[in-house]
Amino acid sequence: MLSLFVILLAGVNALQWHKITEPHHHVHAIELSLQDSRAAFLGWAAHHDKQYKTAEERERRFQVWLNNRDYARDHNSRKRSYQLGMTSSADQTPEEHARHKGFVNQADRSHRVGTGLLNTTLSVPHSVDWREMGAVTPAKNQASCGSCWAHSVTGAVEGINAIRAGKLVSLSEQQLVDCDSHDAGCSGGLMDFGFDYILNNGGIDTESDYPYRAEQGYCNARREDRHVVTIDGYEDVPHNDEQALMRAVARQPVSIAISAGDRDFQLYVGGIFDGPCSTELNHGVLVVGYGSEHGKDFWIVKNSWGPAWGVDNGFIRLARNIADPRGQCGVAMQPSYPVKDSPNPEPDFSEQLSSYLHTSLTAF
């Protein structure tokens, strides 16, 4: 009977912790958890499908979780412009969570500044959200592989392909992890090099045909030869210029690098993030829009930590137009985007049949 009671209590707390990713409920959920911290932890762990191998590991994770909960509760009591909560990584220290990034800055990167972005007379909308225009796939989860750079690349290419070809197609991060020899797979990479790989390879395969495994493996030559979506080049946005970034995002989703190593970023669940973060770039993400709320400007940024992190199922709103020209968390330091003018190649009959059979067997 006691075991049944614990299981039921964990289930109730799982429902409570489900609310914590919603900005309007996260403070209430933290307060409720104080009634029984351990039961709340079990509910949170069940909700996020956490599997701990030993009792010692579970207890260690519980202590980290408690520390993060107290940190989030203290932050939320200060009524800042953003809120913290028990995200799916709340049982990790910031040092442990570092493996969920993977941007590697490299001195030999090319610089291809788009000349159109230098025109400061271009008018742009007051707000843009490419999600509403069908150019953004749902947030994916890189897991413990440092492939954020690959997720940023595919997100940008998915966006421009949807805009130019009129169809949103989820593309393969795993192909970049396995096949892009200029980058380092799960050990990190650079978005410009990822665009370069797609350009030189003649295209990239789909997520469904070359699915993500969160580990680096051998490059699948057959799948690498499937050039489902192509690009014609890539360009950099002028550095440390949020207005130029705004002009670029008004045209398409844009890859950026940010600093995402602080605990506030790890535990973010809502609001406009203007909290502590450096400009030591370590994480590749995707700007999919911008806007303003109550007089405070923000960027809409797609992350690759899954839908259980952040707001709107995997996104964050970063403060925009701050005093530092590098932008909040370095958002304006190294933006880039793919260029696409040519249509995608028509698949041959064997490719169409293969895709049909794969879809049919998966559905079956």
Positions marked catalytic: 148, 283, 303
Q: Which of 20, 17, 13, 15 is nearest to 268 (CA)?
A: 20
Q: Is 323 exposed, middle or buried (0-12, 13-18, 19+ CB in 10 A)?
A: exposed
User: How many Cα atoms sit within 13 Å of 220 on the Cβ side?
Assistant: 17
Let me know if 3 is exposed, middle or buried by CB neighbors in 10 A (0-12, 13-18, 19+).
exposed
Looking at residue 344, the DSSP 8-state letter turns out to be P
Angle at 314 between CA 126 and CA 192, to 5 degrees: 75
For residue 87, give every residue at least 6 positions away whose Cβ sits within 8 Å of its Cβ, in sequence order, or none.
21, 266, 267, 268, 269, 305, 308, 309, 310
Distance from C-alpha of 316 to C-alpha of 303, rounded to nearest angstrom: 7
Contact present, 69 and 255 (Cβ < 8 Å) = no
Helix (H, G, I), strand (E, B) or coil at 60: helix
Instruction: Please calculate the CA angle 304-26-275 and round it to the nearest 5 degrees.
Output: 60
What is the distance between the alpha carbons of residues 35 and 15, in angstroms, rounded to a whole number? Answer: 15
Q: Do you know the residue count of the chain? A: 364
